Structure 1
Amino acid sequence: MASVRDQVSSAEWETRVNLAAAYNLVAMYGWDDLIFTHISARVPGPEAHFLINPYGMMFDEVSASSLVKVDLLGNKAMSSDYDINPAGFIIHSAVHEARSDAHCVMHLHTKEGVAVSAQAQGLLPISQQSLFPLSGLSYHAYEGVALNPEEKVRLVADLGTTDFMILRNHGLLTCAENIADAFLNMFILQRACEVQLLAQSGGAELIPISQPIVDGIKQAAKQVTRNAGGKLAWPGLLRKLERIGAPYAN
């Protein structure tokens, strides 16, 4: 695919590279669901445009140049040979329109995430990993495949100001001010779901973590990451992609 680097601003190109990296990382960790989930990122600038994956392309194939730029109505804002998934557009446009701070939105259908989303109690406070999403976690009831524009109102109302959401019977969603933070949020939420299922499979009584510890986790997270959030780990993740020859920077 021909590079679009010369057709966009340097800020947009940087966003494209990092977003494509997030797609490649999802594939590398085995979190993809063929072509059926999405990560989107707001394009820097005054226009309400965002980037999303080309529908039909596998996540390990996504590159900076292949990402599709659309407006909040789903119209292409730049020529592309690819279309976008209408269900992905409903979810991501809803969050981008309602949350000016949500520059990146990740939505995945991992088997562990779907499994926990189907449990009545949802995510349990039984691991250190679970504490981070539990400090700001919301839930959204399943309404079928996300094709109804009217669902957008209910989804953003349920999301509120949180950065972690479990979509009941469906999967996981995270958002953040930048792509690195949204990815770290998803990594932690996904790992918490994995740990929960492993702990439950053991059959022993589970030990819950007390609410005061849950309440104090945000300050602890800032200390652990030196206030850098996901950006602390992001360069290392990009190096992992470089070692396997991922196409994200093309």
Structure 2
Amino acid sequence: MAPTDMSPEEWTTRCDLAALYRLAALHGWDDLIFTHISARVPGPDHHFLINPYGMMFEEITASSLVKVDRAGEKVAPSDYDVNPAGFIIHSAVHEAREDALFVMHLHTVAGVAVSAQRDGLRPISQHSLFPLASLSYHDYEGVALNPEEKVRLVADLGRTSLMMLRNHGLLTLGHSAADTFLKMFMLQRACEIQIAAQAGGGPLIEIPASILAGIRAQSDKVMRGSGASLAWPGLLRRLARQNPGHDT
């Protein structure tokens, strides 16, 4: 039940965002207290929710999330600070894209490894085809503390909903927590498969471009349609079994 000092819509968003943090931890995608997942607070104010800096992902709850404005300044009391480098990236995406209600950024081993490869993600698995249908790249510019980088990041993102931050990690955005998670799952799994396939040492077979073109036409149905909405309730049930309490 939503606290009396916030709307039911904000509470629902908080619960979904806290679930994303705990699911990232459950899948081994966290990087101690670093990297971030954010959400736009429903309503007319340009406010956002992000993790309390210093709290492990598996500990985050709906009520512990920090509410900030576009500049990353807290607009509600919290004992925790916000990582300024983390919010530079997220604020840029939220401001540029109306469909970016959730933004997920990770430093997974496989994701960073593939982002450092000159060819990036290659079409060598079925899992890779769906990310490749809407994938962009942004070159590394150092720790994200320069607000001027936001312009270049947004230009590189364009209308895609998945991004590889070169030498840095992965990013997905979506209109829901379910949509954002499924995109990250597919992208991360494709990276894991690519690293495993390359470790075999033999030549790799790439999927023909004609098949990728066909996948682009189907990607909306698979990546954010019934696939995301069907998987999300099961993921929440898994959380309830293995790490309950995100919605407190």
TM bin (shorter chain) = over 0.9
Matched residue type, 1:13: W
Name the counterpart of 1:152. Answer: 150
The answer to whether structure 1 residue 120 and structure 2 residue 128 are counterparts is no
Give the match's secondary structure for 2:183: helix
Q: 2:136 aligns with which of 120, 125, 138?
A: 138
Give the match's secondary structure for 1:214: helix
Q: Gapped runs of 5+ residues in structure 1? A: none
| Residues 217-236 of structure 1 aligned to structure 2 (within 5 Å) | 217-222=215-220, 227-236=225-234
Alignment size in residue pairs: 248
Name the counterpart of 2:86. Answer: 88
Name the counterpart of 2:19. Answer: 21
Please give the alpha-carbon distance, in whole angstroms, between the structure 2 residues aligned to 1:187 and 1:225: 10
1:228 Cα deviation after fit: 2.5
When the two chains are superposed, the root-mean-square deviation of aligned CA atoms in Å is: 1.5
1:87-142 deviation per Cα after TM superposition (whole angstroms, max 9, x unaligned): 11100001011111111100000000000010000000000010011001100000
Q: 2:130–2:223: 8 Å Cα contact kept in structure 1?
A: no
- With over 3 angstroms needed to count, the CA separation of the structure-2 counterparts of 1:228 and 1:211, relative to structure 1, is same
Q: 1:51–1:67: 8 Å Cα contact kept in structure 2?
A: yes
Matched residue type, 1:143: E
1:4 Cα deviation after fit: 7.0
Name the counterpart of 2:54. Answer: 56
- With over 3 angstroms needed to count, the CA separation of the structure-2 counterparts of 1:120 and 1:192, relative to structure 1, is same
Q: 2:98 aligns with which of 81, 97, 100?
A: 100
Give the match's secondary structure for 1:139: strand
Matched residue type, 2:7: S
Q: 2:221–2:227: 8 Å Cα contact kept in structure 1?
A: no
Give the match's secondary structure for 2:105: strand
Q: Gapped runs of 5+ residues in structure 2? A: none
Q: 1:51–1:68: 8 Å Cα contact kept in structure 2?
A: yes
Give the match's secondary structure for 1:175: strand
Please give the alpha-carbon distance, in whole angstroms, between the structure 2 residues aligned to 1:226 and 1:46: 25
Q: State percent identity of aligned pairs.
A: 66
Please give the alpha-carbon distance, in whole angstroms, between the structure 1 residues aligned to 2:91 and 2:131: 22
1:60 Cα deviation after fit: 0.1
Name the counterpart of 2:5. Answer: 7
1:143-202 deviation per Cα after TM superposition (whole angstroms, max 9, x unaligned): 000001110010011001100100000000000111110110000000000000000001
Please give the alpha-carbon distance, in whole angstroms, between the structure 2 residues aligned to 1:96 and 1:52: 12
1:5 Cα deviation after fit: 2.4
Q: 2:179–2:224: 8 Å Cα contact kept in structure 1?
A: no
TM-score (norm 1): 0.96
Matched residue type, 1:108: L
- With over 3 angstroms needed to count, the CA separation of the structure-2 counterparts of 1:225 and 1:110, relative to structure 1, is closer
